[in-house]
Structure formats: structure tokens, C-alpha cells
Amino acid sequence: MASETPIDPPPELPPTLLDLSSYLLSRIGKAARGRLADRLAERGLRLWDMAVLASLADFGPQAQRDLVRRLGLDPSDLAKVVEQLAVAGYVERARDPADRRRVSVSVTGAGRALLAELDAQARVVQDEVLAPLDVGEREVLQSLLLRVHRGLGERRSGP
């Protein structure tokens, strides 16, 4: 059979879908997430690990309880993430002397170094994804996205 040219013509997606910003958002978001997740996976990390490190670096030591509320993931799952990070030496856990039920989590130097690397990786991915846009356009996009994000009613989780 040879009813077709040797090289497949670029298959176009339905305009009905491409017209929807929400579709593009979903698709591009998935691509961005996937690529970053791949990078992290090379180090045996997941997106949540980065989120936790970022939260600790940005806001200082916190109880797991606070991380749970801030990041919106299941307490049980957070415990596992923190456990891994602690074993790897990226965070330290200590009983809060004021309320000894709580475990205060803090980043270590290694954790900060790791986060810096991960952030760099994330920006590489971002450069790939946003390649078609120039610097000015990327800033516009960033500010629009930031406003959209603030408007989201915080439902469910997502690293």
C-alpha cells in the first residue's frame, strides 16, 4: 500500500479545541508538568518534593501541618515526602518544644542547594516550552497567569 506520501503530513488538531484557552492551558500545562517531572525523576524526585523544599526555603521551618495546609496535599502523603527528603538529607525534622505533637521541618544546606538546581532545571524546561515567545511576551504571560492563578478557588491538590 502507498496511498499516502512517505512522510506524514502534520496532523492538525481540531480548531474547535484550539479555540478554547482552557484546552490550550490544559495541554500546555500538562506538557510543562510532564517535562519537569521527567527532570526530577532523573534524581528520584517528584514535584511534591520540590514544592516542599520551596515552601521551607521561602517561609522557613514549619510544622507538617502548615505544609499540608499551604500546599494542599494529604497529611499522610506529606509524611512520606518529608520522610524521603529527610533520609536523603535535604530536610531535618525536630519535635516542636512548644507543642511536642508537632514536627518542625526545616531545609538543610544540601536542601537549599538542591532546590537551586531544581529551580534552574525548571527554568530550562520553561525556556523549552516558552521558546516561541520573546522576553517581553513571557513577562506578559507570567503576569496574566499569576492573576488567573490567584483567582482559582484552591480546589484539590496539585504540586
Partner DNA sequence: AGAATTAGTGGGTCTGAACCCACTATAGGA
Partner DNA sequence: TCCTATAGTGGGTTCAGACCCACTAATTCT
**Which residues form the interface with DNA (CB under 7 A)?**
1-3, 37, 46-48, 63-65, 68, 73-80, 82-83, 93, 99-104, 156-159
As measured in angstroms, the least distance from the Cβ of 99 to DNA is 5
As measured in angstroms, the least distance from the Cβ of 57 to a second copy is 6
Nearer to DNA, 61 or 119 (CB): 61
Q: Which of residues 44-73 bind a second copy (CB under 8 A)?
A: 50-51, 54-55, 57-59, 66, 69-71
- Joined together, the cell numbers standing for residue 96 give 516542636
5 binds, among a second copy, DNA, none (CB under 5 to 8 A by kind): none
Beta-ladder partners of 91? 107
3-state secondary structure of 63: strand
Other C-beta atoms lying within 10 Å of the C-beta of residue 135: 8
Location of C-alpha cell 482559582: 152
Q: Which of residues 114-133 bind a second copy (CB under 8 A)?
A: 115, 119, 122-123, 125-126, 129-133
Other C-beta atoms lying within 10 Å of the C-beta of residue 60: 10
